[in-house]
Each structure stands twice: as C-alpha cells, then as structure tokens.
Amino acid sequence: MATPSHQLPLPPPEFSDLGRRDFDPVWAEMKTWTLSRDGSEPDRIWRVEHPPVFTLGLAGKHEHVLAPGDIPVIDIDRGGQVTYHGPGQLIVYPLINLRRLKLGIRALVEALEHAVVDTLADYGIPAANRPDAPGVYVEGRKIAALGLRVRNGCTYHGLAFNVNMDLSPFNRINPCGYAGMEVTQVSEQGGPSDPDVVWQDLQPHLIHRLGYPSPK
C-alpha cells in the first residue's frame, strides 16, 4: 500500500550555488519555479552573488534611496524596504514549502536569523536578531538582512549576509528604511573573508533551524 503523501518523510533541501548572476533573471527563475510547484518536489536553497544593485521591497519608499549614482534601483515583490547587494555578499534564496515544514512566515524569518546567529557564534562573533527590525546585528550594526515573498504557501527571495564586500554603497541608502543604520560584515568581525567558507558553514545551521532531517 502506498504511503499517503502527508506521511512521506520530509525530503532534505537541494542546495545549489548559482555563482555570480544578474538580479533580474534569478528573480524571474525563483518566482517561476515557486509558482509551478506541485508540493512533491524537494525544497531548494540557492546561493548566489549579484553585481551591485539596490532592491526596493513592496513597502519600500524611494525617499530611502538617497544617492544611487550608477547603481541600478529595482522595485521588486519581496517585503521590506531598500537594501544593497554586491560582490562579497552571501545571498541565500530559500525556496521553501511552508505548509510542508509547518512553518509560519514569522517562524521562517526567525529560523533564518538564528541560522546566521549560529554561524557567527561558530566564529566567536556574538550576534542577535531584533523583534522590531528583521535581520541580524552585531553590536547594533546590521550584518544580515531579510526579505521574503510567499505565494501559494511557498517562499522566494531571502537572506543577504555581508561577508567581505565594499560596504560604502550602504551609505547611499537608508538601509532597510532606517536612517543612519550602520552595517558590518563577517570579515570585519574577525570571521572568514571567503563567502564560500561561510556558505558551507551556514548550510548545516539552515537544515537544523528549518527542521529538515540531518544528513546521514
């Protein structure tokens, strides 16, 4: 007798490294895949690096983009305000079936935040999330930002984790809509400067915090 689909073991996520890609085509790919899901396929967690770009979420106000200069500004369909993506930043897009994981959106946000906090703890860097402003902070300075979209019970967009990048473009915006918010990165805090290393270290914490079975 076949096992009912709701009793099947939770499949582990498929991790993929997309390399450096322009924002728009990756956005289109994750949206298209999310809308085509039928619930049987494993979740996917994509790692990518984008060329310099500012993205403005659904609640975003263009007044928070102070001086973009030659960096493009793209209005997108995630939650949140404006943030910056650029080389040396670890961008993680969790394409998650929330119903199958039995997670609400707030629980997902907290799971992603705690996975980053756990990774930083491995490097001896004390960090914390904040209930009033999603993301992860080290001594009040933002080191990771989050913005998600939910469609048909599944998520796309995700996490931007500063590792070893030029932080000066953050001075051209009010990061996440907060004037004067300072940012930092892993390399400045004494952690690894290679995003590949941080990506590998982050993965087991994502598996644990999101509730997937541990790899055998």
**How confident is the model over 105-134, as pLDDT tens digits?**
999 999 999 999 999 999 999 999 998 888
Task: Write out the binding residues for substrate.
Answer: 78-85, 145-147, 158-160
Residues 176 and 133: beta-carbon distance below 8 Å: yes
User: What pLDDT is stored for residue 79 in this prediction?
Assistant: 87
The tens digit of pLDDT for each residue in 77-106 reads 998 899 999 999 999 999 999 999 999 999
The tens digit of pLDDT for each residue in 149-201 reads 999 999 999 999 999 999 999 999 999 888 888 999 999 999 999 999 999 99
Band the pLDDT of 8: cuts 50, 70, 90: low
User: What pLDDT is stored for residue 6 in this prediction?
Assistant: 47
Is 2 contained in some domain? no
Half-sphere exposure of 87 (CA within 13 A, CB side): 2
Is 205 contained in some domain? yes
Is 113 contained in some domain? yes
Alpha-carbon distance 151 to 68, whole Å?
Answer: 30
Is 59 contained in some domain? yes
Is 9 contained in some domain? no
Question: Residue 36: which region, alpha, beta or left (left: phi > 0; alpha: psi -120 to 50)?
Answer: alpha
Q: Which residues are catalytic?
A: 176
Alpha-carbon distance 107 to 110, whole Å?
Answer: 5
Chain length of the chain = 216
Alpha-carbon distance 114 to 133, whole Å?
Answer: 14
Residues 124 and 134: beta-carbon distance below 8 Å: no
Closest CA to 55 of 14, 32, 89: 89
Is 44 contained in some domain? yes
Angle between helix axes 105-122 and 195-210 (nearest 10 degrees) is: 130
Residues 205 and 198: beta-carbon distance below 8 Å: no
Tell me the CATH number at 116.
3.30.930.10
User: What pLDDT is stored for residue 7 in this prediction?
Assistant: 53
Residue span of the structural domain in which 67 resides: 14-210
Check pLDDT > 50 for residue 1. Answer: no
3-state secondary structure (DSSP) of residue 191: coil
Residues 191 and 125: beta-carbon distance below 8 Å: yes
In the chain, the number of structural domains is: 1
User: What pLDDT is stored for residue 9 in this prediction?
Assistant: 73
Task: Write out the binding residues.
Answer: 78-85, 145-147, 158-160
The tens digit of pLDDT for each residue in 135-148 reads 999 999 999 999 99
More reliable by pLDDT, 7 or 56: 56
Is 215 contained in some domain? no
- The predicted model scores a pTM of 0.93
More reliable by pLDDT, 11 or 182: 182
Is 47 contained in some domain? yes
Among 4-13, 26-35, 51-60, 152-161, where is mean pLDDT lowest? 4-13
